């Protein structure tokens, strides 16, 4: 489901890949059973290529990483969080157009 430039994160590597990142990180919280998650996955993949080197793009399966999902109080998927310097600086819930995701990412640049 992840594109070439989308990093898969989980409970074990989340801190290292996301919270300690030197650049802003978009985290796509989703699940394999979630149809809207599958719908935005290609958009997230495209943005990962377009923002390469400026924003790290990651994906996390809430069923495989329940600790992290609970820590960030993820109630519905897809949920996109933008994290900069270890703090959430933006959030988008639900399947949204690519432009809206890009606007979220631009907010951290």
Q: How far is CA 88 from CA 1, 4, 35, 42, 105, in A?
A: 24, 24, 25, 23, 12
- Going by pLDDT thresholds of 50, 70 and 90, the confidence category of residue 4 is confident
| 37 burial via Cβ count (<10 Å: 0-12, 13-18, 19+) | buried
37, 47, 60, 74: which one is catalytic?
A: 37
* 60-102 per-position pLDDT tens digit: 999 999 999 999 999 999 999 999 999 999 999 999 999 999 9
Active site includes 14? no
Q: Is the pLDDT score of 46 beyond 60?
A: yes
Active site includes 34? yes
Q: Is the pLDDT score of 7 beyond 60?
A: yes
Radius of gyration of the chain (CA): 12
Among 3.40.50.12240, 1.10.1140.10, 3.40.30.10, 1.10.3720.10, what is the CATH number of 6-106? 3.40.30.10
25, 34, 43, 74: which one is catalytic?
A: 34
């Amino acid at each position: 489901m992840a594109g070439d430039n989308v990093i898969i994160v989980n409970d074990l590597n989340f801190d290292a890949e996301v919270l300690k990142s030197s650049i802003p990180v978009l985290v796509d919280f989703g699940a394999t059973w979630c149809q809207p998650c599958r719908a935005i996955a290609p958009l997230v993949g495209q943005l990962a290529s377009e923002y390469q080197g400026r924003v790290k793009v990651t994906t996390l399966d809430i069923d495989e990483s329940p600790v992290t999902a609970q820590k960030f109080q993820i109630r519905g998927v897809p949920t996109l969080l933008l994290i900069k310097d270890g703090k959430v600086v933006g959030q988008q819930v639900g399947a949204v157009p690519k432009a809206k995701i890009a606007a979220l990412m631009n907010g951290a640049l």
